[in-house]
Chains A and B, each alone.
Chain A
């Protein structure tokens, strides 16, 4: 194709020739680029400012939350809680000690059984007709009787009847002894039957035995801390008829003053419960034993973790 000054003649023939087209195109491009640049710059600045504003608002919000919380914590509702806790804790310790001491006093008295005042009636129904009781002495644990009978079976008969009524806790001591003829008796008195000795030989007897009574099981709960023995409540005392079994329920955990404790050890009359028995207690949640005699059970607990954190 023929060209004039490097421009196609055909093109020259069709349009006006713009000699600055190349320059104006560059300027437009530059302007467009500048526009893009400004837009991007504005966008960037906007984004940056948005972030700054957002973060500022976020900080303002959190500061508000902090201020609200600080105000809340400074309010009378919260401000004295720790002092209240210390005061209440001290009061609780004092009253717990007082309760422990009082329950100890109650235990001392409760462990003393009264004399069974219906026992004289029971004795009266068990005296064989050939016998009489000259003296009896009843304490809260023992029964001693002195009497006389015409046969030497009467004392044992009597004890048998008393055992049938569940009077004695163990085998009583029985002594029977023939009464000798009074030295002052004359042969005439003896032969004509003017003295009882002449008609019948007779015997004195004594019976001494331990009475069936209650045994007293005292239960005390402690925080398991050998350095600072702290009691949880007072001493509970349960009365059990000697030889009967008794159960202490729900021993594995104990809640006191809002804190839940977990059982760690059991001491019975100063001896720690062995592992096997302890495992049984932990599994069943009960401590079961037989009331052989007065017993002192100490249950040791530790606070469970959640409560401990709060305590801290």
Chain B
């Protein structure tokens, strides 16, 4: 080294410096820069991911809000239908509405399950949920403005009535064409009841048909009322509404002591309101598969001897004080 001239030393110095710079660049600066670039890319990726996740979080919040909104909307729609269509509740409601409106003379009432269109999902697959429709058809009669009326044992003509039947009939027979019986009733009351039903819950109770017809001087009035409900597998809402058609509003403590199966020649069940009533479908000549041939013939002969009075033949005598056991207090 000592043999080198100053120029050579300087040259060596410069070379050394250059080597230091080059080495510093290659092993320091360049590596650090390269790392920095990698970090920058990594940071950018992470920032993009964070931005994506931030957006995702906003989306999640929007979706959660939308889900809640949709749940509320689903719930609203579910509650716009009748939760549980029970035929007896619907018929009881309809009959009560007509009776309350002053139209009690029922000719017939019937219920029919109406088939509804099936429901599908957006992709066309069938939805297990469905709309249910129960149609209640009623036919009522108007009055003729003369004849005494009766419905639901009102007035009571059964053998067990508190007022003797003959007395009631005598009293009413004098009122034929008088007072309230002189008014033709039924039509206006029928329309009043229909308007009330139509306005009760327009989204799920709809009057679907009205027929008014005069036959033999009296009006026959028919209406079909459709009740719409749903059959839902995954219900969101809880229906705690208490509309008169969604739950039983009729009697809950009905007297059942006098009910019986199979009408004999004369009803001898003292608890029954039919007590003492002769079988309306009694046919003396009808086949008696349990009886001997001669016994059937003898029966007819004996009935004839009793002037056709089955009560006399079988020796039926109604108990004087026989009256149905009153229904327990509700």
Q: Does A190 contact B (CB under 8 A)?
A: no
Q: Tell me, in angstroms, the Cα distance from A110 to B60 when the chains sit together.
A: 34
Interface residues of B in 224-270 (CB under 8 A from A): 226, 228, 230, 234, 236
- Note all chain B residues with C-beta closer than 8 A to A77: 57
Contact A231 B191 (CB under 8 A): no
Residues of A within 8 A of B194 (CB): 115, 117
Contact indicator A84/B211 (Cβ below 8 Å): no
A278 touches B (CB below 8 Å): no
Q: Please indicate the chain B residues that have their CB under 8 angstroms from the CB of A37 in the complex.
A: 10, 13-14
A245 at the interface (CB under 8 A from B): no
Q: Which residues of A contact B314 (CB under 8 A)?
A: none
Whether a CB of chain A sits under 8 angstroms from the CB of B283 is no
Residues of the A chain whose Cβ atoms lie less than 8 Å from the Cβ of B163: none
Contact of A55 among B29, B120, B210, B234 (CB under 8 A): B29
- Establish whether residues A310 and B55, one from each chain, have CB atoms under 8 Å apart when the complex forms: yes
Q: Return the chain A residue nearest B128 by Cβ.
A: A101
Stretch at the interface among A10-18, A61-69, A163-171, A289-297: A61-69
Shortest C-beta distance, B8 to chain A (Å), equals: 12
Which B residues touch A106, using CB under 8 A?
77, 80
The residue in chain B whose Cβ has the minimal distance to the Cβ of A140 is: B208
Residue B150 interfacial (CB < 8 Å): no
Asked if B169 CB lies within 8 Å of chain A CBs, one says no
Which residue from A58, A100, A257 sits with its C-beta under 8 Å from B59? A257
**Per-residue 0/1 for B48-76: is the Cβ within 8 Å of any A Cβ (1 yes, 0 no)?**
01101101111111111111001101100
CA distance A84 to B55 in the complex (A): 13
In the assembled complex, A173 has its CB within 8 A of some CB on chain B: no
Q: Which of A130-138, A154-162, A198-206, A268-276 is near enough to bind chain B? A: A130-138
**Contact pick for B49, options A65, A73, A91, CB 8 Å:** A73
The majority secondary structure among interface residues of chain A is helix
Q: Looking at the complex, which of B37-45, B178-186, B273-281, B300-308 is the stretch in contact with chain A?
A: B37-45
Q: Is B92 close to A, CB under 8 A?
A: no
Size range of the interface on B? Answer: 35 or more
Q: Mark B14-25, 1 if CB is under 8 A from A, else 0.
A: 100100110011
Contact B60 A92 (CB under 8 A): no
Query: With A73-B53, A100-B122, A115-B207 in contact, is A66–B29 under 8 Å at CB?
Result: no
Q: Is the CB of B32 within 8 A of A117?
A: no
If the complex has contacts A62-B40, A102-B74, A105-B119, are A48 and B24 also in contact, measured as CB distance less than 8 A? yes
The B interface, classified by DSSP as helix, strand, loop or mixed, is helix
| B131 A105 Cβ-Cβ under 8 A | yes
With A78-B53, A222-B122 given, is the CB distance from A98 to B234 under 8 Å?
yes
CB within 8 Å of B: which A90-136 residues = 91-92, 95-106, 108-110, 112-115, 117-118, 120-121, 133-136
Q: B81-94: contact bitstring with A at CB < 8 Å (1 yes, 0 no)?
A: 10000000000000
Say whether A59 contacts B66, CB under 8 Å: no
A73/B210 contact (C-beta < 8 A), A81-B57, A105-B81 known: no
CB distance from A120 to the nearest CB of B (A): 5
Q: How far is the CA of A234 from the CA of B72 in the complex (A)?
A: 13
Contacts of A105 in B (CB 8 A): 77, 81, 119, 129-131, 230
In the assembled complex, the Cα of A104 lies from the Cα of B77 at a distance in Å of 10
A33's partner among B10, B129, B202 (CB-CB below 8 A) is: B10
Cross-interface CB contact of B67 among A88, A103, A113, A121, cutoff 8 Å: A88
Most chain A CB within a 10 A radius of its CB, from B60, B202, B214 = B60
**Whole-angstrom CA separation of A167 from B214 in the bound complex:** 23
- For residue B113, CB closer than 8 A to chain A, the reply is no
CA distance A72 to B77 in the complex (A): 42
Interface flag for B116 (CB, 8 Å): yes
Q: How far is A98 from B73 in the complex, measured between Cα atoms in Å?
A: 10
B26 nearest CB across to chain A (Å): 11
Our pick among A66, A85, A99 for the contact of B74 (Cβ within 8 Å) is A99
Q: In the complex the two chains form, what is the Cα distance from A58 to B37 in whole Å?
A: 11
Q: Is the CB of B36 closer than 8 A to any CB of chain A?
A: yes
Chain A residues whose CB sits within 8 angstroms of the CB of B58 once the complex forms: 258
Q: A182 at the A/B interface (Cβ < 8 Å)?
A: no
> Roughly how many angstroms separate A176 CA and B123 CA in the complex, as a whole number?
53
Set of chain A residues within 8 Å of B10, measured between Cβ atoms: 33, 37
B192 to chain A, nearest CB (A): 9
CB-contact partner of B123 in A58, A109, A229, under 8 A? A229
B6 interfacial by beta-carbon distance below 8 Å: yes
Cβ of B208 and Cβ of A112 under 8 Å apart? yes
Which of A30, A85, A231 makes the CB contact (< 8 A) with B56? A85
Q: A63-B39, A140-B206 are in contact. Are A104 and B63 (CB under 8 A)?
A: no
> A187 CB to closest chain B CB, in angstroms?
27
Which of B20, B78, B204, B214 lies in contact with A102, CB distance below 8 A? B78
Contact status A69-B210, CB under 8 Å: no
B121 interface residue (CB < 8 Å to A): yes
- Asked if A305 CB lies within 8 Å of chain B CBs, one says no
Report Cα–Cα, A92/B204, bound state, in Å: 28
A-B contact pairs, 20 of them (CB 8 A): A48-B21, A52-B29, A58-B36, A62-B43, A63-B39, A69-B47, A88-B64, A92-B67, A92-B70, A99-B70, A99-B74, A134-B214, A136-B211, A139-B208, A140-B208, A140-B209, A231-B122, A257-B59, A257-B63, A258-B66
10 tightest A-B contacts by CB? A258-B62, A55-B32, A114-B206, A231-B122, A135-B213, A257-B66, A48-B24, A52-B28, A69-B46, A101-B127
Known A44-B20, A257-B59; further 12 A-B contacts with Cβ < 8 A:
A59-B39, A62-B43, A85-B63, A92-B63, A95-B67, A95-B70, A101-B120, A105-B130, A117-B210, A135-B212, A230-B122, A234-B73
